[in-house]
Amino acid sequence: MILIPQSLTELSGPVYGHESVRSLDNDLTRQHEGEPIGERIIVNGSVMDESGRGIPNTLVEVWQANAAGRYIHVLDQHPAPLDPNFSGAGRTITGANGSYTFTTIRPGAYPVIGLNNVWRPAHIHVSLFGPSFLSRLVTQIYFEGDPLLRYDSIYNTAPDVSKHAMIAKFDMANTQAEWAIAYRFDIVLRGRASVYFEEPHAH
């Protein structure tokens, strides 16, 4: 296994300052005048405690590469095209039952510059912050069936018992006909079913 140091494009989340969360901040496909390129997807789920109770009023932020595997970050020099209609960042507040939803573009895989033929699988970074916990929590969403997962050193730093909690599952119930495929990703904060969060020093 090759240990991959995470770059600023991996670690740097969106910066919103003190602006309030707006109604369309959770739809990354409607932030510009045109349609972004790529497969439209819906990612939905709940933020929960170890008992399965939803945690309301949690700020959920996401950031990701575009469909070509390119971040908008200035330090991302991967030779893939930028999409002028996709910024790759969004946020929302969980509802009374802890639920959240995002509409976005399925991110592309991308090579790790400087390492021979090492690729990161498609993933979405997620940051959580809320009144029920004291520090910012960060994890990554992966997609079931991705062949690159078995080679990814960041995914494989998670204990085997936690890896399943990092995989978004196909969600037929929330898939919208002729519009977007849905994935379910529940975020359990504590207990045996909890999501694997990145170490604080990694941020």
> Annotated active-site positions, please?
71, 110, 120, 123, 125
Identify the residue whose tokens are 């196909």.
170
**Residue 88: C-alpha distances to residues 22, 37, 59, 82, 189 (Å):** 16, 12, 17, 11, 25
DSSP letter at 160 equals: H
Q: Which amino acid is at 177?
A: A
Structure tokens at 165: 């909690």
Query: Which of 194, 168, 197 has the alpha carbon at shortest distance from 181?
Result: 168
Q: Which residues of 171-193 are buried (b: 16+ CB within 10 A; e: fewer)?
A: beeeeeeeebebbbbbbbbeeee
